[in-house]
Amino acid sequence: MNTGKILLALTLSLLTPVLQAQAACPRLDANTSIHWEEKQVPDLTFCRALDASGNELFSLSLAHDYPFKPSRSQRAESAVINGRSTYWYRTEIATRPGVEARETLVKLNDGRVAYFNVQANTIDALPPVFDIISRLSF
pLDDT tens column, 49-104: 999 999 999 999 999 999 999 999 999 999 999 999 999 999 998 899 889 999 99
For residues 86 and 104, the answer to whether their CB atoms sit within 8 Å is yes
Angle at 65 (CA atoms; ends 101, 43), nearest 5 degrees: 105
Q: What is the pTM of this model?
A: 0.80
Structure confidence at residue 22 (pLDDT): 37
Residue 16 has pLDDT above 50, yes or no: no
85 phi, psi to nearest 5 deg: -75, 140
